[in-house]
Amino acid sequence: MSKEDLLVLKKEVETCTRCDLHKTRTNVVFGEGSANARIMLCGEAPGYWEDQKGRPFVGNAGKFLDELLSIAGLKREEVFIANILKCRPPGNREPRPEEIELCTSFLNKQIKIIKPRIICTLGNYATSYILEKYGFKSDSMGKIHGKVFRVSNLSTQLKIIPMYHPATALYKPYMKEVIKRDWKLIKEELK
């Protein structure tokens, strides 16, 4: 599949009215980056600034994510950054099961088109969704952050690496170094 497939999907997502989040969104946040990315990052859902700008991770958590990407030797343009939900939950509340159910077919299509070799899941929602999608049992972030889950079958060669959500460092500053250490690991996995 190609860049064009991703653009067609983007158009479809931008007019989505499957769940009530379309009533309160300012912009859909489809995600952005390279259609040929070897690495895909998956966060939870757009926050205030993402909803305003229609781009993923452009608020405070995004600033820290940029720092983490540079630790891994990566540029935004060479990865693809997506979220579990494409529209902001009001007041940044947590995603609801029915919203995840309705929205993740778009994420699944993004994965099919981009075919990343590595998916870094940012936070609990992305981690449990992606691990379970590929047949793994999820666990607490404290136990599985920075671990590599390998999917190897006829159709898929993929590593899934659960990561703390970058926003964790904003309300628990002592976690900053733990998170940075995990991103150094990604650099090793990329070699």
Residues of the shown chain interacting with ligand URA in the complex, contacts defined by CB under 6 A? 43-47, 50, 56-57, 61, 83
- Closest CB to ligand URA among 76 and 153? 76
For ligand URA, which residue has the nearest CB?
Answer: 43
Nearest-approach distance from CB 176 to ligand URA, in angstroms: 17
Nearest-approach distance from CB 113 to ligand URA, in angstroms: 19
* Rg over CA atoms, the chain: 15
Nearest-approach distance from CB 34 to ligand URA, in angstroms: 17
For residue 48, what are its two tokens? Answer: 């205030």
Nearest-approach distance from CB 20 to ligand URA, in angstroms: 19
- Closest CB to ligand URA among 4 and 79? 79
Residue 14 CB contacts under 8 Å (≥ 6 apart), including other chains: 28, 30
- Closest CB to ligand URA among 50 and 182? 50
- Closest CB to ligand URA among 4 and 94? 94
